């Protein structure tokens, strides 16, 4: 015997969903409008072959409302999904639930949830950069992937030592490495032959960057910061020249400062 959900059990519902020991009496129309998965499921003349979804005969009601058992789902997750879908309830996307929301939206094909999760991650990338990148990689969120890759690539060696780095797809890891290698090669070409005067002596740009860098290769963010703020370099008018050498190089979208620029990797070519 299952318990009726206190919110998502509607007397005029025409489809019963069960997760664990909780029953949700819902509306096919609302589920179909929100979810391509349920829309296609309700069109089938035969029960779904999906092992995680099972139509069962409902013998507890005279009206024989169709019943779907959702195997592998907790009642808490289904409640959260329905609270997002139904207009009479509300649930906020947070760091604690965004991964489960993305899993649900991917499984049940709910574009509204995917969009809200993508917006949340995009707006909060600096708070949990690598997690945002992983979610973007796993659930195909191109804008989130691009923006989070900027911060990851600016400190790639640190992130590559993270135990979660191998949770990225091989494709994503290859894109990050390819972007970094291209940057290192382009930076070397960019500084070649350039110099400036400082204290009545000629300083090679390559030597200057090596002297201020705490890493073997100058971070992309430090490159533009030097070009824009170092008085000795401003006279060389390097910004336009920099763009000719270094591709996929721009500021963060959600950052008012344009002194720091970052290279990025694109989820799709």
- Specify the DSSP element, H or E, that contains 250: strand 249-251
Rounded mean pLDDT, 261-265? 96
Distance CA 162, CA 173 (A): 13
- Among 12-16, 185-189, 228-232, the minimum mean pLDDT is found in 228-232
Mind listing the pLDDT tens digit for each residue in 62-77?
Answer: 457 888 999 999 999 9
Helix axes 238-245, 220-229, angle to 10 degrees: 160
Lowest mean pLDDT among 79-83, 185-189, 194-198: 194-198
């Amino acid at each position: 015997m299952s318990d009726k959900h206190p919110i998502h059990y509607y007397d005029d519902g025409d489809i019963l969903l069960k997760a664990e020991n909780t029953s949700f009496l819902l509306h096919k129309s609302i589920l179909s409008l929100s979810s391509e998965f349920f829309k296609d499921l309700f069109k089938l003349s035969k029960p779904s072959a999906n092992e995680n979804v099972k139509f069962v005969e409902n013998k507890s009601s005279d009206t024989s409302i169709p019943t779907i058992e959702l195997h592998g789902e907790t009642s808490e997750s289904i409640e959260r999904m329905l609270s997002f879908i139904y207009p009479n309830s509300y649930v906020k996307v947070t760091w604690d639930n965004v991964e489960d929301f993305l899993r649900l939206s991917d499984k049940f094909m709910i574009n509204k949830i995917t969009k809200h999760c993508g917006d949340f991650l995009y707006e909060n990338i600096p708070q949990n950069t690598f997690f945002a990148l992983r979610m973007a990689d796993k659930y195909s969120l191109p804008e989130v992937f691009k923006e989070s890759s900027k911060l990851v690539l600016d400190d790639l060696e640190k992130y590559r030592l993270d135990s979660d780095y191998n949770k990225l797809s091989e494709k994503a890891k290859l894109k990050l490495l390819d972007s970094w290698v291209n940057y290192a090669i382009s930076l070397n070409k960019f500084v070649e032959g350039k110099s400036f005067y400082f204290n009545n002596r000629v300083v090679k740009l390559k030597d200057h960057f090596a002297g201020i860098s705490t890493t073997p290769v100058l971070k992309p963010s430090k490159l533009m910061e030097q070009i824009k703020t170092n008085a000795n370099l401003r006279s060389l008018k390097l910004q336009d020249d920099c763009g000719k050498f270094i591709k996929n190089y721009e500021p963060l979208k959600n950052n008012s400062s344009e002194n720091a620029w970052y290279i990025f990797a694109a989820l799709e070519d």
